[in-house]
Structure 1
Amino acid sequence: MNKRVKWSVFAVVVVLFGFAGYQLSAAGRYANQMQAKYDSEVLLYSASWCSVCASARRYFARNDIDYVEIDVETDTSNNDEFRQLGGLGVPLIVVKGKVMRGFEPNRISEWVSEPN
């Protein structure tokens, strides 16, 4: 591969990583705004039919974790929030400004126990 192609590929990779980093930080800022709106450190964006969402609910109850559940099907503004956070599927969980797509109990435990 010649030098020009290598530098072009390198430049594209740098731009893509920069954009991904920007998107992650934007989602984090928006996550903090949503937590302030709902006055909760833990948000669960869910749907009534979602079995993984039900598992998350049970986990929160079993571990005494206060959370606010936001149904993305019933209100278009909820769906807009969900998309702003990068939601593609449910559940989408926000813990202390961090966004989780899906449900990972061990990671939630870590995030919840971190100091603010």
Structure 2
Amino acid sequence: MRLEVCIAIVALLFAFSLVIHPNSPAAPVRQGGPKVEVYMTSWCGYCTKTLNYLDGKGVPYAAYDIESDSAAKERYLALGGQGVPLVVIDGNKIAGYSPQAMDRYLQASQ
């Protein structure tokens, strides 16, 4: 019974993550603003924190799940990605969750 409940919870969390961040083309980036890309996975807590942080600041971004999007995984590897999240702001790479680094690059691009 306990195992079935755990499996059901994991399945629901996975399904919910697909609704929040569907595997779809890049979100539009505002005119004149920074180009922001987030390479992530559905199970990564710091990826969720990164997306929530950008949402809270009203920053448009494109989120790519590197486990379900092979083209995104190729771009991620070409960027030297070794962990998630990998945030790219106007070509500047940030490995991991770092609000300070995101703010620095977002302010520099204004």
In the alignment, what sits opposite 1:104? 98
In the alignment, what sits opposite 1:44? 38
Determine the C-alpha separation between the residues in 2 that align with 1:49 and 1:65. Answer: 22
1:53 is aligned with what amino acid?
Answer: C
Determine the C-alpha separation between the residues in 1 that align with 2:109 and 2:45. Answer: 30
In the alignment, what sits opposite 1:77? 71
Contact 2:90-2:109 within 8 A present in 1 as well:
no
**How far off is 1:115 after superposition?**
3.4
Equivalent of 1:87 in 73, 81, 87? 81
Q: Which structure shows the higher helix fraction?
A: 1
Q: How many residues align?
A: 80
Q: Which runs of 5+ in 2 are unaligned?
A: 1-25, 30-34
Runs of 4+ in 1 over 6 A off after TM superposition: none
Length-normalised TM-score, structure 1:
0.64
**How far off is 1:113 after superposition?**
1.0
In the alignment, what sits opposite 1:4? none
1:86 match: secondary structure: coil
Determine the C-alpha separation between the residues in 2 that align with 1:93 and 1:110. Answer: 13
Give 1 or 2 for the bigger CA radius of gyration. Answer: 1
Q: Which runs of 5+ in 1 are unaligned?
A: 1-37
